[in-house]
Structure 1
Amino acid sequence: MIEALEEEGLAGKIPVVGQDAELEGVRRIVEGTQSMTVYKSIKSLTQQTAEIAVKMAAGEEIYTSTTLNNGKKNVPTVLLRPVAVNKDNIQETVIQDDYHSKEDIYAVD
């Protein structure tokens, strides 16, 4: 999509957002051709996953305050708080969590 906008001279003029804080997306935020990306802390995600996996392996029931229906049954669900990553908080989010390094984000090819 960014390429198509660039071809039309619209990159950075039309809001573009992403998901999962992929490195190229974060680089586009720095460049100004993407507005933001949604990020869930990788540390929180892995910690929650490990805790649930251990409980499941031990045969324990998983208790949550939320469930989602998968078409067959309600499944206990843990929802993590998403963060909108933009130019102002790259350091405090993806860099601080060691998801991407400052060198990788700001690297000049």
Structure 2
Amino acid sequence: MAHSGPPAVEIHLTEAERARLIGMSAEPSRVAIRAKIVLACAEPGSSNAQVSRELGIAVGTVRKWRAAFAEGGLGALVDEARTGRPKAELTVTDEERAVLQRWARRAKS
């Protein structure tokens, strides 16, 4: 006997949201996958399991991003700032820059 969980959160998109999600889904990134999830979830009668099968991703991932969008809209699909040590800034002198450019222009062997 199959266990059915709680019903999936309904997703209703405005035309502007749909257009933005379509644009976001064209980029090769994690945000694009999230946009595809939301677009698929916005289809009438779509279930998390169905979207999971269609996109080839875990049901938990679909559930997570469907709920995030329902609660926070488009902004919820973008990664939050991560904690930890900030990335070191690369500082290059003019002399070092000239050497790097010379190396980059050398013939490939």
Give the TM-score range, shorter chain: under 0.3
Structure number with greater CO (CA < 8 Å, separation at least 6) is 1
Structure with the higher fraction of residues in strand conformation: 1
With the length of structure 2 as denominator, give the TM-score of the two structures. 0.24
- Structure with greater proportional helix content: 2
Question: TM-score, with normalisation over the residues of structure 1?
Answer: 0.24
